[in-house]
Structure 1
């Protein structure tokens, strides 16, 4: 009997040790709202035969500006759903003086590649964020705009994307979303360093609006001139506002800058010239009083965005 008990105890110890030794997922492991994770999503890249080398950029596109080139776009009637305050995890900052200017013509590029999108939060309320086209059928945004963050969090639902929204006007209609993506560094750990996401659209409106290219490097961006445009909560509903500044600090997975932002502008592109049109360097997400920060497009994030657009 004693030997049997010892054997059982030994087996339990081995099982416990094995379970404890299971490797943690890399924080950049992709995850989708339909339950796929890791290689289940990455297999898409093999199917589409996208080169997997160390590309540093993808090209942007100004689009045609012709709505007839977009497939699957829905006409918009009225002003859309009533929304409450945007989903913000940290106060975003105006670095006085406020240098934001309104984009009064959102049918020009790159303004038309910026999107206002609404969604239903897990508590049933409707909110919004900013995003940006980075392919004909894909939008990049902040992780906290698609998932509430951390263990026990939940996916937002009922996404509706309005490219180039300008108050009550939706010059390019709206698009639905087939899949929302983020990474486990956000969905499991709510780490600000992994606060990025994408929405796969049910349309190809990017052929009309154009899109931003992507750029990554391990080097510093300090002093790089950057711009951003989004949909702030302190201005007229669903109006787009532009700001520009320079990168003030470069971190491994974040960029700091003095772009003026408030709630609602989370998810906007932090971009510079290049990539044929403009290169997105980061996804705006946070404020720290005397500066704002975005999730840097690292090589891993770049590869995820590449997969998510297919």
Structure 2
């Protein structure tokens, strides 16, 4: 009897111990399209729009340097910056066909922004972005959320149409930053996109880009981009055009010349009434560069974040 009772008691104690032991709470794995906000919100953020958004037109703005709202915004002095985010591996595909935009008060150059931010390490850097609403800027995810540090960048300051040391439209702060779980949880390059909600509505003056979610292949079509590269004089905007080489489910590859600092630049064409972005530039590969394609899921999130 004893030889049978002791093992039985031992098994019972083991089962009770396992039942009472605390269990670790695992971080839920979210659908990669799930929006995430720097203020801690996850999932539904703002009012969702119904159905396939298709294409949305841009707006050329007034271009009024006296400011359409009647208040001239004075730019903060731009802080010293270091090399842009190291994740931004991009390439100039010889020959370098970038040309400087000498007048950034024209549309769409004035809707293209340079913005500075503080990394989790405390160093300051910059990226490129572009207005797609009066108070919202689209950019690359790695310019907003640092995957390796598992933390958001902070202290964003946005300079529309920056031109060297000149900020013709002043600067705007940022009230919130957004990205998606595919970038924040997985660091997937296919989900490397983000948005910044501004504390001003400067887009009414500068204008903004439309969004194009065409399902057709763009191979062989001409696209353009403009941004703020690290290998050119600080704060200067550079433009180039070339063709799309590959249309993938979530990315476009193209022969546009780019380098660090141009992450987040608009990849756009004239597929709508003004200029419409078809991708958000993010990466390079020596023989081509690539960006996150604006498919309906991306358009849906961008539109929601602008509300």
Q: State whether TM-score is above 0.5.
A: yes
Check whether the contact 2:59–2:208 (CA below 8 A) recurs between aligned residues: yes
Aligned to 1:263: 260
Q: Distance in 2 between matches of 1:85 and 1:271?
A: 26
Separation in 2, partners of 1:115, 1:135:
13
Distance 2:78 2:18 in 1: 62
Match of 1:36 in 2: 41
Q: TM-score scaled by structure 2? A: 0.90
| Deviation at residue 12 of structure 1 after TM alignment | 8.3
Ranges in structure 2 where 5+ consecutive residues have no aligned partner: 1-8
Structure 2 residue corresponding to 1:168, chosen from 156, 165, 169 = 165
Instruction: Write out aligned runs for 1:60-139 (5 A).
Output: 60-67=58-65, 68-70=67-69, 74-76=73-75, 79-139=77-137
Q: 1:306 to 1:8 in 2, by over 3 A?
A: farther
Higher helix residue share: 1
The SS at the match of 2:219 is coil
Quick check: 2:91–2:257 contact (8 Å CA) kept in 1?
Answer: yes
The separation in 1 between residues aligned to 2:294 and 2:287, in whole angstroms, is 22
Following superposition, the deviation at residue 71 of structure 1 comes to 7.7
Distance 1:92-1:303 versus aligned 2 partners, 3 A rule: same
In structure 1, the residue matched to 2:5 is: none
More moved, 197-206 vs 88-97:
88-97
Shift of 1:218: 3.1
Greater Rg by CA: 2
Residues 161-195 of structure 1 show CA distances to partners (whole Å, capped at 9, x for unaligned) of 00000000000000000000011111111110000
Q: Does residue 187 of the first structure (1) align with residue 167 of the second (2)?
A: no
- 5+ long unaligned stretches in structure 1: none
Say if 2:228 is the partner of 1:231: yes
TM-score between both structures, scaled by the size of structure 1:
0.89
Distance (whole Å) between structure 1 residues aligned to residue 146 and residue 70 of structure 2: 31
Runs of 4+ in 1 over 4 A off after TM superposition: 1-13, 70-73
- Partners of 2:105 and 2:275 lie apart in 1 by 16
Could you give the per-residue CA deviations for residues 119-138 of structure 1, whole angstroms, max 9, x where no partner exists? Answer: 11111111000000000000
Give secondary structure in 2 for the equivalent of 1:274: coil
In 1, distance between residues paired with 2:11 and 2:90?
A: 63
- 1:3 CA drift (Å): 7.9
